[in-house]
Structure 1
Amino acid sequence: MTESLSFLNTAAVRWGVIGCGGVTEIKSVPAYQKTPGFEVAMVMGRSESKVADYAKRHGIPEWTTNADELIENPGIDAIYIATPPDSHKFYALKVAKHKKPCCIEKPMAPNYADSLEMVEAFAAAEVPLFVAYYRRSLPRFLKVKEWLDDKLIGEIRHIHWTKTKSPTPIDESGSCNWRTDKAIAPGGYFDDLASHGLDLFIYLLGDIKKANGLAVNQLGLYSAADSICGNWLHENGITGEGYWNFGTHFREDKVEIHGSEGKITFAVLDEAPLVLENASGKKTLEIENPRHVQHFHVQNIHDHLKGLSKHPSTGTTGLQTSWVMDKILGN
């Protein structure tokens, strides 16, 4: 064990959190707090009043508006970066310099080049980098993987995903959120939402070796793209295609995996039933997500740091997802 990971012999890993936005309220930070062997010891936010209130509500003993104060704090062992993706590299490189394990929210960065720089920095520092693609750890998707690995639909041929939703309202100032600013998320909601699915498909079906696509802005409501279509080829010959539109009347989230002997249908983002169809008939299975949806993801970080198992979502796996997204967006 390297000197930088000597804290792993202690009773608890003390986490510092950079960012206190919506994703941290229920999805992630409570999961860190409820995982035995972990504690959230400090949080950073740019607004003093907001971060102070956040720390009080979540029972976090220390807070700051200075990220360096958190990253350099000897009482903080590991860092969770929960800011918009355009700042991930800025903070991550600082964390790598101080040789502390890190988990970054998804997507890793607005582009593949920034993602690569982060991965290389943590590899050089010899400390783990995780990415919050928590669907790789959720029981409902592990069941899909089990069906695929058991060849319940035979040899896998093709995967298709349709994700649509109605336009996002714009406030009186003309602004929306980071997902609509092309400087932060060039693909708009594609960057935030499609990244989850593409990463999951790589986990389920194997690495992707070719990808391309088309991204346009149909509505003119904001600067980022709002309509994207893409196709890709997995290394094992499985083909894939996706259609993501954020200006439609109907909301849809539907994945179909076609095999030589059947089909599996599920949703990436919605908690729809898993459906298996083959010669034995049609099977429908409901598997609920935990209230703190990153629970299993965080537990897997714990087990990885303790040397019990390898986490399914690391900087290396996230880097492949960043590459695919860049290719589909034409970057």
Structure 2
Amino acid sequence: MKTIRWGIIGCGAVTEVKSGPAYQQVPGFALQAVMRRNGALAEDYARRHGVPRWTDGADAIIRADDIDAVYIATPPDTHLHYALRVAAAGKPCCVEKPMARTPEECVRMNAAFREAGVPLFVAYYRRSLPRFAQVADWLREGRIGPVRHAHWTFSRPPKPDDLAGRSGWRTDPAQSGGGYFVDLASHGLDLLMHLLGDIEDVAGTALNQQGLYPAEDAVVAHWRFAPQADGSRALGSGFWNFAADRGRDSVEIVGRDGTLRFSVFDEAPLVLECGGVSTERVIAHPPHIQLPHVTAIARHLRGEASHPSTGASAARATEVMARILGQG
């Protein structure tokens, strides 16, 4: 089996534990080089993680003969720029989520990789996690019957840095495409579409309740899902607030015959209620949470199975968020 040698553009915090080590641990993959504009930080990362080479220039990753595929882990404002260059080099690519700042950027990225004939993956890794595979199994088995409604409540109190006026790129729409809603809700909206089908007829309202940064901090939305196997339609709704008293993370999927409850981010038990019986399953995240996602990339590149999170599916999450924020 030929080893696929990866390079990372943007070896920041997300790559330290969540993703970077996965590219070293999956059989048939090797992490060959890392890039960061701050060369000292790139060198430090390479030394600590045992990566053979580091650089402060993206071309040294994209054009290198000993790099077969590229993982882009920079903020969203540079995803399009780097992805187009990777596509031009004819190399498979994985881009961090959200895929891009706008639906239009997603369209350009997908077109470039389609023309190059190489795959584009997006790190919506919850699609590959074992805990959500269990939720998918319960739904596929019809344990709660046809789905009637899905609702996600998510809240967080303001961060100390935001209160102190030290907000980072995640709350700068020019860099992220929005605020914490775009950064975090993208995971859950993508997951709901993976579990229940495409989101249609979506509408929302967004406010900036605190005035701590330029982006929205309070969002509500409603939508309907594509028709189910029996032709029925489920409705959906969401509430996201980053100016709240405490953290909440609760999804409830109501069906004709029962209910499913779980958290998108928290490792709370999965709860299935049907037939008067409540069943709980505790399925922990792997130490490197993107490992199942990266394993699925390897299987895709070997022609064994299609990856569940591609540029095509990830673009829908960006489109849905744009409509919720009144941008599409």
Question: In which range does the TM-score fall when normalised by the shorter chain?
Answer: over 0.9
Separation in 1 of the partners of 2:36 and 2:206?
33
Separation in 2 of the partners of 1:45 and 1:142?
34
Instruction: Assess if the C-alpha contact under 8 Å between 1:232 and 1:240 holds in 2.
Output: yes
Give the superposition deviation at 1:280: 4.3
TM-score (norm 2): 0.96
Separation in 2 of the partners of 1:211 and 1:282?
32
Helix, strand or coil at the partner of 1:221: coil
Stretch deviating more after TM superposition (110-119 or 175-184): 175-184
Helix, strand or coil at the partner of 2:33: strand
Separation in 2 of the partners of 1:69 and 1:59?
18
Instruction: Assess if the C-alpha contact under 8 Å between 1:182 and 1:225 holds in 2.
Output: no
Instruction: Assess if the C-alpha contact under 8 Å between 2:76 and 2:177 holds in 1.
Output: no
1:115 corresponds, among 80, 91, 106, to 106
Separation in 1 of the partners of 2:178 and 2:219?
8
1:1-331 to 2 correspondences below 5 Å: 11-170=2-161, 174-236=165-227, 237-331=233-327
1:118–1:231 Cα change, 3 Å: same
Deviation per residue, 1:27-71 (Å, 9 max, x gap): 001011000100000100010111110110011111111101210
Helix, strand or coil at the partner of 1:200: helix
* Paired AA for residue 18 in structure 2: K
* Paired AA for residue 109 in structure 1: A
Give me the identity figure in percent: 52
Give the superposition deviation at 1:186: 3.8
Stretch deviating more after TM superposition (296-305 or 316-325): 316-325
1:121–1:52 Cα change, 3 Å: same
Give the superposition deviation at 1:185: 2.6
Helix, strand or coil at the partner of 2:176: coil
Separation in 1 of the partners of 2:202 and 2:168?
28
Residue segments in structure 1 that go unaligned for 5+ positions in a row = 1-9
Give the superposition deviation at 1:177: 1.5
Separation in 2 of the partners of 1:317 and 1:78?
20
Helix, strand or coil at the partner of 2:297: helix
TM-score (norm 1): 0.95
Instruction: Assess if the C-alpha contact under 8 Å between 1:186 and 1:225 holds in 2.
Output: no
Match of 1:4 in 2: none
Instruction: Assess if the C-alpha contact under 8 Å between 1:153 and 1:262 holds in 2.
Output: yes
Helix, strand or coil at the partner of 1:52: helix
1:202–1:172 Cα change, 3 Å: closer
Residue segments in structure 2 that go unaligned for 5+ positions in a row = 228-232
Say how many residue pairs are matched: 322
- 4+ residue stretches of structure 1 with deviation over 6 A? none
Separation in 2 of the partners of 1:68 and 1:107?
23
Kindly report the root-mean-square deviation, in angstroms, between the aligned alpha carbons of the 2 structures. Answer: 1.2
Deviation per residue, 1:72-106 (Å, 9 max, x gap): 00110000000011110010000000110000000
Helix, strand or coil at the partner of 1:80: strand
Separation in 2 of the partners of 1:186 and 1:247?
19
Match of 2:230 in 1: none
Give the superposition deviation at 1:171: 6.8
Instruction: Assess if the C-alpha contact under 8 Å between 1:199 and 1:321 holds in 2.
Output: yes
Give the superposition deviation at 1:187: 3.0
Separation in 2 of the partners of 1:126 and 1:101?
9
1:186–1:73 Cα change, 3 Å: closer
Instruction: Assess if the C-alpha contact under 8 Å between 2:163 and 2:212 holds in 1.
Output: no
Deviation per residue, 1:4-24 (Å, 9 max, x gap): xxxxxx631000000011110
